[in-house]
Amino acid sequence: MAYPTVSAGPGPARPGLPDDPLARAAAPTPGCPVEVALDALRGRWTTLVIRELLRGTHTFGELAAALPDLSDKVLTDRLHRLAATGVVHRDRAPGWPTTVSYRLTARGQALGPVLQALWEWGAAD
């Protein structure tokens, strides 16, 4: 075989890409881990919202203030989507007017190295 593991170089086969049997999908499937991750990051503003939350817990209003050009509708959408994928945790405080704070879950924190890898690739010439 001429190209047993092009991506890994001369080392042993690594789990994941492109050696993993799951990496044989002939079409995009929602179960593919890469698809799962890219889906979690998908959408304009998504990574900026995550970046703000990597710096700490924020309320909806604080996020809106940090990203002034992001509309309420899209911010709501992003936070709901991130909650659905288990990246953020939503905490509604009792009282009036309601304040809602968002923080990253452990899974969300784990996105740090992923974003780091993306950053490093994008920053390289």
Partner DNA sequence: CAGCATCCATTCAGATACTG
Partner DNA sequence: CAGTATCTGAATGGATGCTG
Contact set with a copy of itself (CB under 8 A) = 2-3, 6-8, 14, 16-18, 20, 23, 25-28, 32-38, 40-41, 44-45, 47-48, 51, 54-56, 66-70, 104, 107, 109-124
| Contacts to DNA from residues 85-104, by CB under 7 A | 90, 97-101
Beta strands across the sheet bearing 58-59: 58-59, 100-104, 88-92
Alpha carbon distances (Å) from 61 to 5, 25, 55, 76, 101:
48, 42, 15, 11, 9
Instruction: Give the one entry of DNA, a copy of itself, none that residue 13 binds, where binding means its C-beta sits below a cut-off of 5 to 8 angstroms depending on kind.
Output: none
Q: Which of 64, 49, 67 is nearest to 103 (CA)?
A: 49
Helix, strand, coil percentages (3-state) for the chain, rounded to 5, are: 45, 10, 45
Closer residue to DNA, CB minimum distance, 101 or 105? 101
Site string for DNA, 30-69 (x = CB under 7 A): ------------xxxx-------------xxxx-x-----
